[in-house]
Structure 1
């Protein structure tokens, strides 16, 4: 970001914001990235004009599970290289409300869709989405390749040898 430009991290530049009617926001850890992650992000991308993905920081992840193997920089790099994601934001909390507020400030007339996997019974950020008349969509969870299942498979193969 050029110094003195007035642009800060998280600002969307170089697009015609007024043409964006629907923004889709997803949240991922994206550690040990796999097909289940890709499938969720691709499905989310089909729902709107602009897809923003919040990648959880190490602190946010540690609030509900073991810390990630890959760093935030590494995980953001993977997500930002995907064609199905238009923008990546670091997300400092399991609840995406702070990031969603930044998004609604930059796109005040856009509809917001929050996408979480169906494995989340209580969706973080749901109260804010309801407040702004947004939508929550929970595509089916891809159980076969959840990160836990991948880790368990690796352990079972390793323990056989």
Structure 2
């Protein structure tokens, strides 16, 4: 059985995410997806619009995904070894970089192949987030405040 692994934040799930998962599943028998936990997203200097618990459930619900697991650190080699993956799927924006040339050597020593997929042109979570911020004035803080207000309103309607 060929086990494949890929990781991502999967914030504001879009067609690019779906394309990656669909293409990856086509090259393995079992696809395991690491979903980046909120703390690691923050460590990378970003903030997910969608909470981790929701993001991992969205990924789990995708028919191409056999299992979704939390990604607590950036060590993809350790994750592949732990999960028994023989293929790592990543976006081609990393291809040819010094960092990934080194990764390729490390992965090859462990018998794990890296497959690069082209990014879906014209789409990214960052672009969607920026568009929402401009059009709707959204910020992470605003979305959290709106969610809290919704919960309070829901509680009040249930108590009243």
User: TM-score normalised by the shorter chain: which range applies?
Assistant: 0.7 to 0.9
Partner of residue 81, structure 1: 61
Q: Which runs of 4+ in 1 moved over 4 A?
A: 123-128
CA contact (8 A) 1:61 1:94 kept: no
Q: Deviations over 1:63-120 (max 9, x none)?
A: 323121222211110000011000111110122233222212xxxxxx6110011122
Partner of residue 56, structure 1: 36
Tell me by how many angstroms 1:25 deviates: 0.4
What TM-score results when the alignment is normalised by the length of structure 1? 0.73
Size of the aligned set, in residue pairs, is 133
- Of stretches 120-129 and 24-33 in structure 1, the one that deviates more from structure 2 is 120-129
The verdict on how the C-alpha distance between 1:152 and 1:70 changes in structure 2, with shifts beyond 3 A counting, is closer
The verdict on how the C-alpha distance between 1:40 and 1:88 changes in structure 2, with shifts beyond 3 A counting, is same
Match for residue 99 of structure 1 among 65, 70, 79: 79
What TM-score results when the alignment is normalised by the length of structure 2? 0.74
Partner of residue 39, structure 1: 19
The verdict on how the C-alpha distance between 1:130 and 1:59 changes in structure 2, with shifts beyond 3 A counting, is farther
Of Structure 1 and Structure 2, which has the larger fraction of its residues in helix?
2
**Secondary structure, aligned partner of 2:122:** helix
Partner of residue 153, structure 1: 131
Whole-Å separation in 2 of the counterparts to 1:112 and 1:46: 14
Q: RMSD between aligned alpha carbons? A: 2.1
The verdict on how the C-alpha distance between 1:128 and 1:80 changes in structure 2, with shifts beyond 3 A counting, is farther
CA contact (8 A) 1:96 1:125 kept: no
Q: Whose Rg is larger?
A: 2
Whole-Å separation in 1 of the counterparts to 2:109 and 2:44: 25
